[in-house]
Structures are given as C-alpha cells and as structure tokens.
C-alpha cells in the first residue's frame, strides 16, 4: 500500500527505489579467480538489467566461495542474489536466499524462523558485521513486501543499530521510512468514517498527519546524513515528496465527501470548519512539498547514470505529473531515456519510453504517445522472452488501449485491452502470493483495465468473427460450448471480465488468491432455472445492467446517468440510512432511548424515493422478462458503492423488492457451489454470548435475547449443539466441528470492515476470532459448512469495501453461503427473525434465499400490523428494522 496515486511504477520500480542497489556492490572479493569472476559477471549483468542472469551468477559465486570455505564472501554473494530476486518480484525466494546467507538450515521463511534469527542476532547487537547488517536491511525490505510489517520494523531497527557511523545508515533509514509509510497507510485506511469526520471537524492537523509522522522523521534523517551515497538520500526525498502529495489528495477527497453530505442537511458550521481544515492542511503540505522539490531538482541533476538514477527521475516525473507540473517532466524523462540506452538497460528503457508515452497522452499528442508506447511494449515483450516482465507488459498494453480508443480505433483498443486483461489474469496468483506491500495499489491500478475492456465490449458493434479474431481467451477459464448470437457473445465476454474483476478484488482484499474460481465459466442454467442474475456496471458516462436468465441470451439496458449522479444518489441513501455522523440518519434516530416518530417518518419519506430510484435503474427495465420467465430469485453481483445498498428494500412505489422476490448477493458466479442444503441432515452448531464482555479494553453490551435465540434453534433442529458464554471458545468450536455440522450459527458481536484483520467475532471467554482464524476453524477436512449465520455482527459504517469482508467471509470461511447484517439490529428482533428463518429453512424443497425472504416478510407483516409508532401506520415499514439481513453466496 505504498502508493495510492503513484501506482504505475509498480513492483519493479518499487524494488529498485526501495532496495539497496548501492549496498550490494561489495568489491572485496577472494583471490580465487573463479568466484571473483562469477561475482563480477553477476554485477555486470545486474547493472544492465539482466536480473535472472545476475541471480544465477551470484548463486554460482556463492557455491564457489562455499567450496573454498569463504563464508563471508558466500554471504555477500547470496545477499546480492536476493536483491536480484527482489527486483524480479520473487519475494519468497529472496527471503529464503537471505536466510541461507545467515546460515539457516532448510530455510522456509516462516515467522518462526524469522523470529529465531532476530532473537539470535539481537543478542549480538553491537558486534554484528557490516555484511550481517546489510543482510538484515535486505530482509527487512523483503518482509515489508510480504506484509510482515512489525517484523520488518524489528529487523530494520536491528540493522540500523549495527551501523551507527556507516554510509549504509541512510539506506536503512530510507527502508524504515518505507515500512512506517505502509503502517501509516494501514492506520489511515482503517479509520472509521466517524474518526475521519471528527479529525476534520476538530481541524486537527496533528491527528491528520499522525499516522505518517515516524515515516517523515526517517525520511528526513536519511536525507541529512552527509557521508551517505547520493541515491538513498534522494530516494528518501522523493518518497517524502510523494507522501506529502498523496496525503494532500486523500484529505481533500475525504473532506469534500463530507462537505457534500453536510450540504444536504444545511450544516453550514460543519461545512465552514471542513473548508478551514483543508485550507490549513493544504498550506502546510504545499510549503513542505515545495521545499523538498527545490532540494530534489538540483540533487537529481548531479547523479551519475545508473539504474537507480533512472528510476529516481521517472519517480520524480510521475510526482510532477500528478502535481500538475507537466511542463517540467519531459527533460527528466528524455535524460533518463538517454542514460538507459547508454547503460543498455532494457528494463529501464521500456519504463522510460512508456512514461514518455504517458506524458504525451496527457498532453493530447496521441500519435507520438502511441509510437512511444508501442516501442515500450516491444521492449517489454522482448524482456518477457528471457524472463518475467509481465508487470511491465500489461502497463503498456493498457496504455496502448487507451490511446487507440482516444483515436477511435475501437477494434485495436479491444485487442490491446484484452492483451492487458490476459496478462493481469496470469499475474493474479503470482503477484498476490508474492507481494502484499503493493496489493491495494495494484488493484487500483488495474481496475480501469477491467472496466475499460468491459466498456469497449458493451459498446462494440463488431461481429462475432471480428471479436474472436481479436480476443485470445484466458486459458484459466474453459468456455462452455453454446450456440450464441452476436449480442450473447459480446455480453458474455463483458460479463466474464466483470466476474474476473470481482475475483481480483477479493484476492486483493485478502492479499492472497484465496478464492478458488470454477475452471468453467459458470452459466445460470446450471445453477437455478428460477433465478436471474443482475450485474450493474457503473461507467463514467452511464450505468449498464446485464441480466442473465436460464436458457436465454444475456440482455442489457443502458441508463444515461453519469457516475457522479449515481454516487450522489448512493451517498444520499447512506447518509439518511446509516451514517453515524448525520443526526437525522435512521441509525441515529433509532439509537436514542426515545426516538422521535416525526423524525423517523420524515426520514422514511426521504429514503423511499431513493430506494425507488435505484429500483428504476436495476429492476424496472427487466420487469416483463422477470414475470414472463417466472423468476423467483434475484441474485446480484455488485461492485463499488452499490455493495452497501440493502437490495431487499428497493421500492417500486408500492412494494419492497423482497415482497416479490428472494434476494441474494454473490461476489462471482465462478465462486458458487450450487449444491442444495440437505434438509433431513440439518443440525446446527449454535454458539453465542449474552453477557456484557470486555475485549482488549473495549466493552461490548449484553445480548440478553441470545439464549432464547439459541434455544429456538435447538427446538427446531434437536440434533443441534448449543454453546453459550463461557462454553463458546475457539477450542470448543474446533472440537464440535469435528462432528460435522452443516450449519454454524454465531450469535455474538462482530464486525466486517475493509481491514481483513479487523473482521472479527467475540467469543465467550473475552477473546476475538479473526476472519482468518475462523476460516481455519471452519475448514475441518471433509466437514464442509454449508451455511454460516452471523447474528449480531455488523459492517463498518461508511466503509465501501466493508461488504467485501462479508463476501470474503463467505468465500474464505469455506462456507458455501453466509447470512449476516449490514447494520446492528436489536437482539430481541434478531431472535424473532432468526427463529422464523430456521423454521423456514426446515421446510422441504425450500432454498436458503426463500427462508431469508419469508423471515423478512414475517417481520414486515408484523410491523405493518403493529407499527412502532402510530405516525408510521400508513407508510411501508422502515427498512432499518428489517432490511439489513443479506445472504451472500449459494442461495440454494
């Protein structure tokens, strides 16, 4: 998560900029000519960008030194080899190589091995050699890129303490700054909506910058060491500069989002405080950034040609483009290109050509931009022949697609974007498995590739034959044979692209390829003939919705509404429904001990037109087809802000959607196992917490109706097992799951958020179980969990990616489906709802989605007959009471 907006430099550039290029030229070689020769050849290969050859030569040198008993120089060669592997993005291999350098037997880079190495070397603190310190430095970088940030921090601190007066100190401080920067991003990205709102409202610049203060300190120290080589010093300044610009944009976006919300409620004082906050923050960050820029410019000009110098210039050029200083970029990139050619460094040359192409694209010089991008792509593909340059190749394939589209060559654009799409699909598992450090940036960078390709396909008027000639299928997905007409082919391709985006987003969320997709492009025909799958896709200029019906060609409708209007509508819905920072939201009205009926009535009257608007987008265009095909189940594949909409509450002007259809969400049809729940064999592992409980200093309220909820389950399914309070622990869950429970019901506090490590449930012994830990518990070999019910859990407010935590829970846990809620519901109504749900689940022939629908309808009818306030008697029941429950995954 090093960059949000500086993403195109990606893995190889990140490796070069954050690595230890100057540290690894260790000239003190043995007198033995063979290892010395091998080591020098390795350095030469590395200097011209032939990383695979460099790694092999350094490995050979290490083996030769080992034979003559020169342990010190063997370690140096292995450290050099590790740097080459890092630059290739092969972080697990680089980590194992470093452990070899420290004489660890059978290195597997497990946390246990890392911890043991740290303990051993920490005891020798103060007497470590320079080679050991350099090895620790490199290991700290690898651990950061693998997401082990606390370990990276520890290892780098140990390296720093071992080289107090060495020129290497600047490079270690740079790496510490980078690790602290990633930690800062984690803190910032995991702030709840109301935490950010409070910082803006208090106008606290200190709190706004707090996550990055340590990173700033390390960057400043790195740049101020007089004896250090110029490269790490200027890299520290560049990273500091980028971070200032990134923070400025992030806070502007967050502040503007709140100003829009507050404008709906005429909160003039809040709006003025927000404007004052962002104005003061801008002033401070602009001053700091200008000071740094004035230092960077002359420092860059003094660098001798090297790969690190080339990437430093590209890095600065990218920052200047983002900072709207485009007039200063071309001389930097032209100089970098000249240096790359002098050094015969093909990888550096392809990056420089590509970024020159990007510059001309920004300036509207499409012909020149296309020529440069094609040159960059040819070089990247040549590099791919000898090694793995896919992370470079897709950049220029997608950039070429953008350029061809702008020049109205839609056929060429589809071909280019398809090539980029296939490259990304092949990278999917490799990058996710190797590099957690740039995961989120990787997704943000590549998401436009998926959307642009889908956009082009949906607007294409090419024939099937033309499309087939352009599109090389991704070999990881086998296509089912079917007689399709032209729209089916075009739409099917677009749907596959959107499905792939959903998978990539889940992979990114968990920072590994956790979701095992089906190896066949799944059709609705093979799942449920009474279901329709609806794919809404938001483009900048329109909303497109694809409908998939069993035995029918895909259908599409185009709604001429731009992305800003869609987001404004969805934000308005969120503000009135669940925004804890808005006084008039339903959540705040109903959370008071004595809710005001008039406020709740006004809130509902505001919400209903918004729910109707979304209904008009997603459902109304297909009403005739849904009725004529006797559709009973609607399955939604949602992305972006649509993910936090309670779909069951969409309103047609008279009825809610749930009154006509059962509703389910799926992250992707490719993740669905359509097996039905065997009703005769249902037994439930029902666990819950009813007492007030304290976890890590935070108190969670008593859920007094949980015993009733668990008793109802036991009555409905007598073979069930009940675990209440102290009996509900991770160990008891693990023990009971060995007895094969197809349904697991957890009635306890929990949270879904955009932070996978912040997805948790509370157990009766005052502990929390993370989503990863729960996944391990539920994946008992041979004991598949069909349905996971999470009662009393909620999704993080204001968190657009939080529903990924819910969807991911369904996928990651091994359960085929998950039932949970989008916002907290009173435990009394939850107990009643869950009782209804299980009674419906027991009925023969019914589906899980039907059981959910009937339970919601029961709640709706109860609210119609007995509204909570007389003022609501002639209005539909407020969705806040009944609509948060969602079923994710297999709806059968």
- Of 520, 559, 774, nearest in space to 672 by CA: 520
Distance CA 714, CA 732 (A): 18
Neighbours of 871 (CB within 10 A): 16
CA separation, residue 497 to residues 290, 485, 668, 854 (Å): 42, 19, 11, 34
Q: List the alpha helices (DSSP H) in 435-485.
A: 439-459, 464-470
CA separation, residue 387 to residues 18, 390, 392, 448 (Å): 22, 9, 12, 26
The whole-number pLDDT of residue 707 equals: 93
What residues does 555 pair with on adjacent strands? Answer: 547
Residue 455 C-alpha from the chain's centroid:
22
Strands 743-752, 760-762: pairing is antiparallel
Strands 684-688, 743-752: pairing is parallel
Burial of residue 698 (CB within 10 Å: 0-12, 13-18, 19+) is exposed
Distance CA 862, CA 847 (A): 23
Give 361-370 pLDDT, tens digit per residue: 999 999 999 9
Distance CA 432, CA 438 (A): 9
- CA angle (527 as vertex; 526, 533 as ends), nearest 5: 110
**Helix 130-145, helix 71-87: angle, nearest 10:** 20
The whole-number pLDDT of residue 17 equals: 35
- Of 790, 840, 847, 792, nearest in space to 815 by CA: 790
State the first-to-last Cα distance of the chain, in angstroms, to the nearest integer.
38
- Token readout for 585 is 């939201």
The whole-number pLDDT of residue 673 equals: 61
Distance CA 157, CA 140 (A): 9
Buried b (16+ CB within 10 A) or exposed e, 498-534: bbbbbbbbbbbbbbbbbbebeeebbebeebbeebbbb
Residue 363, classed as helix, strand or coil, is coil
The whole-number pLDDT of residue 20 equals: 33
* Cβ partners under 8 Å of residue 607, min gap 6: 573, 576, 577, 586, 878, 879
Q: List the alpha helices (DSSP H) in 387-409.
A: 390-406
What residues does 795 pair with on adjacent strands? Answer: 752
The whole-number pLDDT of residue 3 equals: 31
The whole-number pLDDT of residue 599 equals: 93
What is the model's pTM? 0.81
Give the 3-state DSSP-derived string for 98-128, with helices as H, strands as E and coil as C: HHHHCCCCCCCCCHHHHHHHHHHHHCCCCCC
Residue 722, classed as helix, strand or coil, is strand
What residues does 360 pair with on adjacent strands? Answer: none
Buried b (16+ CB within 10 A) or exposed e, 603-613: bbebbbebbbb
- Of 852, 853, 768, 782, nearest in space to 818 by CA: 852
Residue 793, classed as helix, strand or coil, is strand
Distance CA 67, CA 115 (A): 29
Which residues of the chain have a pLDDT value below 70?
1-33, 190, 384-388, 428-445, 471-488, 506-526, 670-680, 753-759, 780-783, 795-814, 827
CA dihedral 32, 34, 35, 38 (to 10 degrees): 150
- Of 611, 580, 679, nearest in space to 195 by CA: 580
Neighbours of 682 (CB within 10 A): 19
The whole-number pLDDT of residue 513 equals: 45
């Amino acid at each position: 998560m090093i960059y949000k907006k500086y993403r195109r430099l990606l893995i190889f550039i990140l490796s070069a900029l954050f690595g230890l290029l100057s540290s690894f030229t260790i000239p003190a070689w043995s007198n033995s000519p063979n290892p010395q020769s091998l080591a020098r050849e390795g350095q030469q290969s590395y200097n011209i960008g032939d990383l695979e050859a460099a790694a092999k030569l350094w490995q050979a040198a290490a083996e030769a030194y080992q034979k003559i008993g020169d342990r010190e120089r063997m370690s140096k060669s292995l450290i050099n080899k590790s740097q080459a592997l890092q630059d290739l993005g092969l972080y697990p291999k680089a980590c194992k190589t470093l452990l070899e350098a420290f004489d660890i037997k059978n290195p597997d880079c497990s946390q246990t091995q890392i911890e043991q190495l740290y303990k051993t070397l920490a005891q020798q603190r103060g007497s470590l050699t320079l080679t050991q310190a350099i090895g620790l430095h490199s290991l700290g970088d690898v651990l950061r890129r693998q997401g082990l940030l606390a370990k990276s921090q520890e290892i780098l601190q140990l390296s720093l303490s071992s080289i107090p007066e060495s020129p290497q100190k600047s490079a270690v401080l740079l790496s510490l700054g980078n690790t602290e920067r990633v930690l800062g991003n984690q803190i910032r990205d995991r702030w709840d909506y109301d935490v950010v709102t409070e910082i803006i409202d208090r106008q606290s610049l200190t709190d706004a910058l707090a996550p990055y203060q340590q990173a700033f300190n390390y960057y400043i120290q790195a740049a101020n060491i007089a004896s250090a080589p110029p490269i790490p010093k200027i890299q520290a300044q560049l990273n500091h500069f980028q971070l200032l610009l990134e923070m400025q944009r992030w806070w502007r976006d967050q502040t503007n989002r709140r100003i829009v919300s507050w404008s709906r409620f005429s909160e003039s004082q809040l709006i003025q405080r927000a404007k004052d906050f962002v104005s003061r923050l801008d002033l401070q960050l602009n001053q700091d950034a200008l000071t740094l820029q004035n230092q960077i410019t002359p420092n860059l000009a003094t660098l001798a040609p090297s790969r690190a110098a080339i990437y430093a210039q590209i890095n600065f050029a990218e920052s200047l483009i983002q900072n709207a200083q485009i007039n200063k970029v071309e001389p930097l990139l032209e100089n970098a290109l000249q240096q790359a050619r002098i050094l015969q460094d093909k990888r550096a040359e392809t990056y420089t050509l590509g970024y020159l192409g990007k510059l001309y694209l920004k300036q509207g010089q499409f012909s020149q931009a296309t020529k440069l991008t094609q040159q960059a792509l040819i070089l990247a593909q040549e590099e791919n022949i000898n090694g793995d340059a896919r992370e470079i190749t897709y950049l220029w394939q997608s950039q070429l697609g953008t350029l061809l589209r702008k020049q109205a060559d839609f056929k060429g654009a589809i071909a280019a974007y398809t090539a980029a799409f296939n490259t990304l699909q092949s990278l999917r598992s490799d990058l996710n498995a190797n590099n957690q450090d740039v995961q989120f940036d990787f997704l943000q960078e590549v998401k436009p590739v998926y959307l642009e390709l889908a956009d082009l396909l949906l607007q294409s008027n090419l024939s099937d034959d033309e499309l087939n000639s352009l599109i090389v299928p991704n070999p990881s997905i086998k296509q089912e044979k079917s007689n399709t007409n032209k729209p089916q082919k075009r739409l099917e391709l677009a749907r596959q692209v959107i499905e792939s985006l959903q998978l990539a987003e889940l992979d990114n969320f968990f920072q590994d390829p956790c979701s095992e997709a089906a190896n066949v492009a799944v059709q609705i025909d093979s799942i449920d003939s009474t279901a329709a799958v609806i794919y809404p896709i938001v483009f900048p200029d329109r909303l497109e919705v694809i409908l998939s019906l069993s035995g029918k060609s895909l259908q599409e409708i185009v709604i001429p509404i731009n992305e800003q209007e869609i987001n404004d509508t969805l934000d308005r819905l969120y503000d009135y429904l669940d925004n804890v920072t808005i006084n008039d939201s339903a959540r705040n009205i109903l959370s008071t001990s004595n809710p005001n009926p008039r406020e709740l009535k006004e809130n509902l009257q505001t919400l209903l037109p918004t729910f109707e608007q979304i209904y008009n987008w997603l459902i109304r265009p297909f009403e005739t087809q849904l009725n004529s095909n006797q559709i009973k189940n609607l399955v939604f594949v949602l992305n972006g802000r649509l993910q936090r909409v309670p779909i069951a509450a969409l309103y047609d002007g008279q009825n809610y959607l749930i009154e006509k259809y059962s509703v389910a969400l799926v992250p992707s049809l490719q993740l669905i196992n359509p097996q039905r729940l065997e009703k005769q064999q249902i037994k439930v592992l029902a666990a819950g917490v009813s007492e007030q409980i304290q976890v890590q200093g935070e108190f969670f309220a008593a859920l007094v109706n949980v015993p009733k909820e668990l008793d109802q389950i036991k009555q409905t399914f007598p073979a069930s097992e009940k675990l209440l309070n102290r009996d509900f622990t991770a160990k008891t869950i693990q023990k009971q799951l060995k007895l094969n429970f197809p349904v697991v019901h957890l009635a306890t506090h929990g949270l879904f958020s955009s932070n996978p490590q912040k997805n948790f449930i509370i157990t009766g012994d005052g502990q929390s179980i993370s989503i990863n830990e729960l996944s391990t518990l539920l994946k008992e070999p041979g004991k598949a969990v069909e349905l996971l019910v999470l009662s009393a859990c909620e999704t993080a407010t204001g968190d657009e990616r939080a529903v990924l935590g819910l969807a991911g829970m369904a996928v990651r846990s091994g359960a085929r489906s998950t039932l949970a809620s989008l916002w907290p519901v009173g435990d009394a109504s939850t107990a009643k709802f869950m009782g209804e749900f299980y009674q419906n689940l027991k009925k023969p022939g019914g589906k899980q989605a039907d059981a959910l629908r009937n339970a919601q309808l029961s709640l709706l009818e109860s609210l119609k007959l007995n509204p909570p306030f007389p003022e609501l008697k002639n209005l539909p029941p407020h969705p806040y009471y009944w609509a948060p429950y969602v079923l994710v995954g297999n709806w059968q």
